[in-house]
Structure 1
Amino acid sequence: MRAPVVFAVVVTWNRRALLEQCLAHLMAQTRPCDGLIVVDNASDDGTADMLADAWAGRATVVRMATNTGGAGGFNAGIRAAVQAGAERLWLMDDDVLAALDALQTLLAAEDGLASEGVTSAFLCSSVRSPDGHLTNTPEIDRRENVLGYPDWGERLDRGLIPVRQATFVSLMVSRSAVARHGLPLAPMFVWGDDTEYTLRLSRQAPGHLVAASRVVHVRATPGRLSIETETDPGRERLHRYLTRNVILAKRRHEGKGPAARYALSRLRMAVGLALKGRWRQAGVLVAGVMDGARFSPEVEPCPTS
């Protein structure tokens, strides 16, 4: 069987040092990538010069005119990789350090599933923080087997767990899946865009977490995203996008009821913040709920020929 053409797609913004580490890990893979695309979201920290000097001929750089966020970056990167002939797209942010056999292990898992007649919606790696804690944990798929029991443990002995959503932290998706389901929603900008995309990919069949494929996520702020515990004032406004984007994902993939319950939970949280005098954070959540009620971006198709 011919090996698939694999392109790594990395989205970066103003994290030159981390990007250099990320790319070094990609270049050292035991199963080399067939192509490397870096989407530079209008960085102004010297990233463009570094890529031009050190990575000329080794990486294709897509330089965005403005910062389009992770959503816009992966939208552009997937499009560029498909147009360049990629058959598998290995997606990650610039703060991901992949174990040297991470790609080889993902592809071996894909081959194993294919030998059973299983086509996975996507594959994702096991993610840990630099100090070893699990992070970016995907949500287990709870579809049932023929006996009516959840099927998630079927391949547990091989370190394969069916999942319904994951993040753009070492996620592999096929060209054919992109052709069927389109591109990530660029208007989502940041936070939650990967959740919506993987839920879209896994409508008919689950993706799979490949436990033996390992990466480290060097996040600026570890832990779950919550405005209640946010310590960086510069990131507070991003929680408006998160609230809006989660409402959209729930509305499209779970229904109006779950979307409404999530919106109500954000409003309750806003009231709690206001009672503590945290009016700015409360306003961010209220604005996100209002945005979520009318936010409805269209899925863009991705030409594959």
Structure 2
Amino acid sequence: MRETVAVVVVTYNRADLLARMLDGLAAQTHLPDAVIVVDNASTDHTRAVLDARHDLPLHVTTTHANLGGAGGFHVGVRAAYDAGWDRLWLMDDDVVPAPDCLATLMATDEDCLMAVREDLEGRLCEKAALRFDLANPLVIRPKTASVDSAYSSRDELPALVELENVAFEGFMVRRRVVERIGFPDPEFFIFYDDVDFAVRARRAGYRIWAVRDARLVRQLDFNQQHDLAGWKGFYMYRNLFVVHLRYGENALVRLKPWLIVLAVLLMCPLRGGRAEAANVTRAIRSARGMRRLTEAAGPPR
């Protein structure tokens, strides 16, 4: 039987990027059955962009406030699940799929799939993890290998590459996976909600595959990972800590967040990082209250 598919898009104040992404969806050789757009209370011309689209089966939800990417994907995935679509394709507003991207994913008979991203110059920039180590306490960053660190170009990739985490930029999941493991956790706000979901899927026995020929073009550079002293730094630290506290495979790994806090505090006088020190101490306090999956993110009843 033909499977149906809904695209879940989350956007916030990036109307021009959103317009290009929607152009990419409209150009698909396999058109989606629904495009569920969660507008995180944008204040730019996002509404005008959406109102002008009559070439896509849009279903728009405008939230009362900015729920972050995590909250937006929670809302969108729940809406797609409740509507009964067979597959859900999660998409950020800053990527553009190649015309055959959706068709390639739909032709791949696996429960969890990832389109492979490249930059505007055509260079491979897929940072999904080939290895996400939650067993070794000596590993500072659990992502020890990514697609773009192991392969220099798309041509080097095998047709399918097994992943240990994903990004919600081109990730496709079957309905039965959501039915078993639940929804994206809205409490993350931004960062690591996709990692949390991937860990849950893998622990439930699902394998995640990057599909070489499913091409996605990223419109922006990866530059937010360095802002550890800004407001995003709090979420980067806190949500990394939450993943360790929830899924660390031994006591030493679950202890690692406190060791990271100590290291940052000891180094902040040398780095001039008072703001980063404040972020990391707030982060560990908040992470302790998120050791268990949020009730809203649990499997549907």
Q: TM-score range by the shorter chain?
A: 0.7 to 0.9
2:234 equivalent among 207, 231, 240: 240
For residues 29 and 258 of structure 2, what CA distance do their matches in structure 1 show? 45
For residues 88 and 188 of structure 2, what CA distance do their matches in structure 1 show? 20
After TM superposition, give the deviation of residue 157 of structure 1 in Å: 7.8
Matched, 1:217 2:218: yes
After TM superposition, give the deviation of residue 56 of structure 1 in Å: 8.5
- What is the root-mean-square deviation in Å for CA atoms of aligned residues? 2.5
Change (3 A) 1:158 1:275: closer
Matched, 1:264 2:252: no
* Counterpart contact for 1:74–1:184, Cα < 8 Å: yes
3-state SS of 1:173 partner: strand
Q: Which residue of 1 aligns with 2:2?
A: 3
For residues 82 and 169 of structure 2, what CA distance do their matches in structure 1 show? 22
TM superposition score normalised by structure 1: 0.82
Question: Superposed, which structure 2 residues align to 1:1-305 within 5 Å?
Answer: 2-55=1-54, 58-110=57-109, 119-120=110-111, 122-140=112-130, 158-203=158-203, 204-219=205-220, 221-223=221-223, 225-227=225-227, 236-255=230-249, 256-296=251-291, 297-299=293-295, 300-301=297-298, 303=300
For residues 17 and 169 of structure 1, what CA distance do their matches in structure 2 show? 17
* Counterpart contact for 2:114–2:172, Cα < 8 Å: yes
Query: Where do 5+ consecutive residues of structure 2 fail to align?
Result: 134-155
- Displaced runs of 4 or more, over 6 A: none
For residues 270 and 243 of structure 1, what CA distance do their matches in structure 2 show? 13
After TM superposition, give the deviation of residue 281 of structure 1 in Å: 2.2
Q: Deviations over 1:60-116 (max 9, x none)?
A: 001100000011100000111122221100001100111111111112222xxxxxx
Change (3 A) 1:267 1:159: farther
TM superposition score normalised by structure 2: 0.83
* Counterpart contact for 2:241–2:287, Cα < 8 Å: yes
Q: Which residue of 2 aligns with 1:113?
A: none
Identity of aligned residues (%): 31
3-state SS of 1:50 partner: helix
3-state SS of 2:116 partner: strand
